[in-house]
Structure 1
Amino acid sequence: MKLSAFADVCLRTLMLLGSRPDQLITTREIAEQIGVPYNHVAKAVLELRNRQAIEVTRGRYGGSQISARGLQLAVGTLMRDLDVRDDVVDCVSETGVACPLIAQCTLRGALRRAREAFYAELDLLRIEDLTGPASRRLLPFPVLR
């Protein structure tokens, strides 16, 4: 199972903010710390603010800070919400022709169940579980490609 790049940036942003819960961190600083382009982080910050996972203060001394709700957010719930794909596999060709096996296919259902099992396992983790002392040693994050 592979996370979307957007879900990955959102998760990294929350992990960084959760590791410094009493600090306001600018979007530019987040981008530098997690090794992701600024515009990707800006989109993630907007999404996380809309979900009330972070609080954003504007202005010269502004920045983002994780909220209590953000710390309690289940990782699986967030990843499930950010995964906009209908299926794990694409059963339609680039030209729009459906797979000839689709009527009898049991693979799609199995892959959906496997994806849900993946998210269910992540539901056991809260963002705060990812931001304890051990995770602070792991920062900064590897660069996304």
Structure 2
Amino acid sequence: MRLTQFTDYALRLLIYAAMHADRLVTIEETAAAYGISRSHLMKVANLLAREGFLKAVRGRSGGLTLGKPAQEIVLGHVVRATEPDFAMLECFGREEQTCCLSPECHLRGILGGALHAFMTEMDRHTLQDLASNPVHFGVQRPAD
């Protein structure tokens, strides 16, 4: 299983905003800090704001801030909001089965269990876990 780049960017943006909770952050500075595309990050920020994870402040001195405290932003909720689907196989998410193995195959159940375990683990953690110890989670604290 692999998360999309969109989810990766969403988590990075939220981490950056959480680590700079004392001020508004901009798309430009976040993109520069992580070396990622500004235009992609703008799409991510729009979704995160619509979902309430971020609050966008418009205007000349505007920017982004967390929409709620970091300890209330559950990572599983972010992943569910940013991933279009978790159809790991053709048979996931389809009513009509076209796979000739479907009647005998147990792979769908095994992968479904694995996905459930993954999301259960993501639901155990909040943005605060990432922002308070970013190196533990393989996230480098961006330079200001």
Aligned to 2:142: 140
Query: Identity percentage over the alignment?
Result: 29
Aligned to 1:88: 88
In 2, Cα distance between equivalents of 1:129 and 1:135: 8
TM-score (norm 1): 0.83
Question: How far has the Cα of 1:129 moved from its partner?
Answer: 1.3
Question: How far has the Cα of 1:91 moved from its partner?
Answer: 4.7
Which structure is higher in RCO with an 8 Å CA cutoff and minimum separation 6? Answer: 1
Aligned to 2:39: 39
> Structure 2 vs 1, CA of residues 50 and 41 (structure 1 numbering), >3 Å: closer, same or farther?
same
In 2, Cα distance between equivalents of 1:89 and 1:140: 36
Is there any run of 5+ residues in structure 2 with no aligned partner, and where?
none
In 2, Cα distance between equivalents of 1:59 and 1:98: 52
Flag the structure with higher helix content: 1
Question: How far has the Cα of 1:71 moved from its partner?
Answer: 4.3
Which runs of at least 4 in structure 1 moved beyond 3 Å after TM superposition?
none
Is there any run of 5+ residues in structure 1 with no aligned partner, and where?
none
1:87·1:108 contact (CA, 8 Å) conserved in 2? no
| Number of residue pairs the alignment of both structures matches | 136
Question: How far has the Cα of 1:103 moved from its partner?
Answer: 2.5
TM-score (norm 2): 0.83
2:52·2:68 contact (CA, 8 Å) conserved in 1? no
